Amino acid sequence: MPYGVVWKPAAEEDFEAIAALNPIAASQVLDRIDRLADDPVVLARQPSFPHPLFPKYQFWIEDVDDQHHLYVTVLFSYVQGKQDIAIEFIGRQLVPKDSPLGPS
Amino acid sequence: MPGISSTFPVIDGQLGLYEAQAEAWKADHDRAMSCLDLEALLGFGLHIYRSIRKADDAWSEAVRRLSAPLRLEEAEQLSRWYTWWIKPCEALLSEIREFQSEGYEVKEAAEFREACLHVRSVLSIPLDRILGAANDTSAGKPMSEVRDALRRRVEASR
């Protein structure tokens, strides 16, 4: 059963930063979070550093501008007593397209 | 639970050695060291990376199981280790690319790249912001409001 999604203020700030960079990429981030909400237990990684209580969901947004891909790390939590996840933080890395770290 | 520094005492020493070897590699680069030397250095780096991950997993599980409190000191220690580990990575990734462009197959190159990406990703959100989140008891904004705000931003930019 899908989960509802709520956004914590820090995650909203992080999302605003992505939207300022590229609104289309931000829209893709929302699509991926919708996908996460369909099955967070399967899609997320076990919590670990930087926060041992927040599972991670990581994905690429390709071609975020002429020179970069974007690697996104979503940290979230399960809301007690509800079928909801709370988006806590969104980390982002701009990776140059010619970097060996880019999506394969 | 004892602190992770005392549970994993060798990591600091290994990181120092790893950094020194990576520095020496740069200095010796003109002498055309072999791909085997690079593979040995990557293997050493990955060994330390796995040790840090092991410490990270032990800390995370202890906090989740409530057998240890969530303490800033532990998180800062992991942050220091990851930050230290990532320092030589850019140079080593360049070396991997150089050897591969010459036709060499560099063992564990894919694992090393994945480790670099993982470490950068976990360091991409400042620790002080994250650990302060425990104090945030707000209910949060619904997804629909976030989506509407983005839609308004896109329309305004047209």
Q: Tens digits of per-residue pLDDT, B21-39?
A: 888 776 655 445 688 888 9
Sheet holding A84-96, edge to edge: A56-61, A68-78, A84-96, A4-7, B141-142
Which has the closest alpha carbon to B131: B83, B69, B85, B80?
A: B69
Predicted pLDDT at B133 = 64
Peptide bond preceding A100 in cis form (omega within 30 of 0): no
* Interface mutation target, options A48, A75, A87, chain B, most CBs of B under 10 Å: A48
Q: H-type helices in chain B, by residue range?
A: 4-7, 10-28, 35-64, 72-86, 89-101, 109-122, 127-131, 143-157
Q: Look at residue B64 and tell me whether its pLDDT is greater than 60.
A: yes
Mean pLDDT of B83-99: 92
A9 interface with B at CB cutoff 8 Å: yes
Domain residue limits at B65: 4-157
| Residue written as token pair 């605003």 | A16
Predicted pLDDT at B31 = 46
User: Rounded to whole angstroms, how far apart are CA atoms A49 and B60?
Assistant: 7
Residues of A in contact with B150 (CB under 8 A): 19, 23, 26-27, 30
Q: Calculate how close chain A gets to B39, using CA atoms only, in Å.
A: 17
Predicted pLDDT at B134 = 60
The answer to whether the predicted template modeling score (pTM) of the entire model surpasses 0.80 is yes
Could you say which of A4, A8, A50 has the minimum Cβ distance to residue B122?
A50
Class of domain A4-96: alpha beta
Decide which of B3 and B95 is more confident. Answer: B95
Domain count, chain B: 1
* Interface mutation target, options B143, B155, B158, chain A, most CBs of A under 10 Å: B143
Q: What is the DSSP letter of A3?
A: P
Query: Using one digit for the tens of pLDDT, what is the confidence trace for B100-142?
Result: 998 889 999 999 999 999 999 999 998 888 887 666 667 789 9
